[in-house]
């Protein structure tokens, strides 16, 4: 078994992780953006941190409406989501200084969606060398900054 010392994770480990209903709908309806990791809200969608990031700064663009396919998005929602994608890319470039990005959607469990009934667009900052011996040999991913610190940086930049 691989072990990584990460004392900042104890808050998450001891928290109640079971959530009733849709995680994204709950975040949208919440009045506590920081608790739900909501970074920015627009008319039809919002930006939220990924609680299980692939890299520091991993965020998602989520429509306010609970839908499971991009084909169900109204034109205004499509435009709003992609405006937030562009704004998010600019913010992440300024705050995180990545060398590139992964951008995409996983539609259905088969395609890798952890939450398959409420669509969302992933934006994952990438850096040259961010895949190294820890991830390729040890099957361990190191996130170098706490999600709270990253949240504050990105939220302030929006």
CATH of residue 40: 3.30.428.10
pTM exceeds cut of 0.85: no
Q: Does the pLDDT at position 98 exceed 60?
A: yes
* Whole-number pLDDT of residue 133: 43
Categorize the per-residue pLDDT at 54 as very low, low, confident or very high, splitting at 50, 70 and 90. confident
Cβ 80 vs Cβ 120: under 8 Å: no
pLDDT in the model for residue 32: 95
- State the Cα–Cα distance between residues 27 and 36, nearest whole angstrom: 5
- Residue with the larger pLDDT of the pair 38 and 107: 38
Residue 31 in domain? yes
The one catalytic residue in 58, 66, 118, 120 is 120
Is 14 within the bounds of a domain? no
Whether 77 is covered by a domain: the verdict is yes
Residue 136 pLDDT greater than 50, yes or no: no
Which has the higher per-residue pLDDT, 112 or 126? 126
The backbone torsions φ and ψ at residue 127, rounded to the nearest 5 degrees and listed phi first, read: -125, 145
Q: Per the domain annotation, does 4 fall within a domain? A: no
Domain containing 126 equals: 20-157
Decide if 10 is inside a domain. no
In this structure, is residue 54 part of a structural domain?
yes
pLDDT for 1 equals 45
Q: What are 11-49's pLDDT values in tens digits?
A: 555 656 566 889 999 999 999 999 999 999 999 999 999
Decide if 119 is inside a domain. Answer: yes
Closest by CA to 38, choosing from 8, 59, 10, 66, is: 59
Encoded tokens for 31: 């009045």
Please state the domain count of the chain.
1
pLDDT at res. 146: 78
Instruction: Give the per-residue pLDDT at 154.
Output: 93
- Of residues 130 and 152, the one with the higher pLDDT is 152
* Total count of residues recorded for the chain: 158
Give every CB contact of residue 157 below 8 A, 6+ residues apart in sequence.
91, 94, 95
Question: Does a structural domain hold residue 12?
Answer: no
Active site (annotated) includes residue 120: yes
């Amino acid at each position: 078994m691989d072990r990584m010392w990460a004392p900042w994770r104890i808050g998450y480990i001891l928290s109640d992780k079971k959530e009733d209903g849709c995680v994204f709908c709950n975040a949208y309806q919440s009045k506590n953006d920081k608790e739900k990791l909501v970074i920015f809200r627009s008319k039809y969608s919002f930006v939220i941190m990924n609680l299980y990031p692939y890299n520091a700064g991993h965020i998602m663009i989520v429509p306010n409406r609970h839908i499971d396919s991009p084909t169900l998005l109204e034109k205004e929602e499509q435009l709003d989501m992609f405006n937030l994608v562009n704004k998010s890319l600019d913010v992440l470039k300024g705050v995180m200084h990545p060398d590139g990005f992964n951008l995409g959607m996983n539609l259905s469990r088969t395609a890798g969606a952890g939450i398959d009934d409420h669509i969302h667009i992933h934006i994952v900052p990438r850096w040259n060398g961010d895949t190294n011996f820890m991830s390729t040999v040890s099957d361990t991913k190191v996130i170098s900054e706490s999600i709270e610190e990253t949240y504050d940086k990105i939220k302030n930049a929006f």
